[in-house]
Amino acid sequence: MSILVVGSVALDSVKTPFGKVDSVLGGSGTYFSTAASFFTDVRLVAVVGEDFPAEHLDFLRSRNIDLSGVVAAPGKTFRWEGEYGYDLNEAHTLDTQLNVFGSFQPDIPDNYRDAKVVFLANIDPELQLQVLEQVAHPELVACDTMNFWISGKRDALLKTLKRVDTLLINEAEARQLAEEANLVKAAQKIISWGPKRLVVKRGEYGSLLFSEHSTFAAPAYPLESVFDPTGAGDTFAGGFLGFLAATGNLSERSIRQAIIFGSVMASFTVENFSLERLRQLEYIEIEERFRRFKLLTEFAGLDN
């Protein structure tokens, strides 16, 4: 199955203790699409400005990503400037220029409307709803959100969540959304509002998958060099949904494997700035790292 993703395509300027880059390719839609493209066909809906370098579109096309939903609008591309300290878990936003993204109204092309798997990246929950209204019969809808929408558009977000199967957010966002400090209780509360499952992203500490009857904990891959965490969450989502769309299997077994594929993709992304590591990545490396996750986490039970 192919995936429809609606998100941002951006030009990022990022500083970490290990270096800095200016106006490089970024954006939730970009990271997600690229990660998912290792597993399945991806259809991207986004907006770019007149200043957006053609080479970036060429790169996305080279990953076989369908760009017929990417609109070039008059004005400048969305720009984000951020900085990370040695605690790479937290980004400090220095500047955000929404530019053409500020008036983004996602219009789903006809040839996308039969999408079975949909990812709504971190955009205004009202737009997320608009997207869902344009998709005929999705079988799996996942979405991301952030503190800004949780506090500013709570009602719209709760409406969106009623139509979402899987919510992927970070730990602080889960607590904020549920208004509950304990993560297990927060997850139960969020699941009672609609989503079948909640993926809590914890950066270098991995992730937790909560569903009604089961909890799964996955570590992050311990890396010797983490250069830039930007895009880790979106590539996680790309690996997760990419694998599920490729197999079409939504069993607990498959969903747990998908969490690991998400973790694998995130672990590659942070090894270099922007999408540099993903540009070099071969599928065989993805499977190799999946196997390393297995070695990293397995232990003998009491009965074997």
- 136 near a copy of itself, rule: CB under 8 A: no
Q: Which of 219, 247, 276, 285 binds a copy of itself (CB under 8 A)?
A: 219
Structure-block tokens of residue 240: 């997760």
Measured from the CB of residue 48, what is the shortest distance to a copy of itself in angstroms? 35
Neighbours of 181 (CB within 10 A): 8
- 216 near a copy of itself, rule: CB under 8 A: yes
Structure-block tokens of residue 65: 């990503």
- 147 near a copy of itself, rule: CB under 8 A: no
- 75 near a copy of itself, rule: CB under 8 A: no
Structure-block tokens of residue 117: 């798997």
- 300 near a copy of itself, rule: CB under 8 A: yes
Residue 18 CA, chain-centre distance (Å), reads 24
- 94 near a copy of itself, rule: CB under 8 A: no
Decide whether 45 or 255 has the Cβ nearer to a copy of itself: 255
Measured from the CB of residue 208, what is the shortest distance to a copy of itself in angstroms? 6
Binding residue count for a copy of itself, defined by CB under 8 A: 39
Q: Which of 214, 248, 249, 279 binds a copy of itself (CB under 8 A)?
A: 214
Site string for a copy of itself, 250-279 (x = CB under 8 A): ---x--xx-xx-------------------
3-state SS assignment for residue 34? helix
* Structural contact between residues 101 and 216, judged by C-beta atoms closer than 8 angstroms: no
| Distance between CA atoms of residues 45 and 7, nearest Å | 7
Decide whether 169 or 226 has the Cβ nearer to a copy of itself: 226
Give the largest CA-CA distance in the chain. Answer: 65
| Distance between CA atoms of residues 58 and 65, nearest Å | 10
Residue 262 CA, chain-centre distance (Å), reads 9
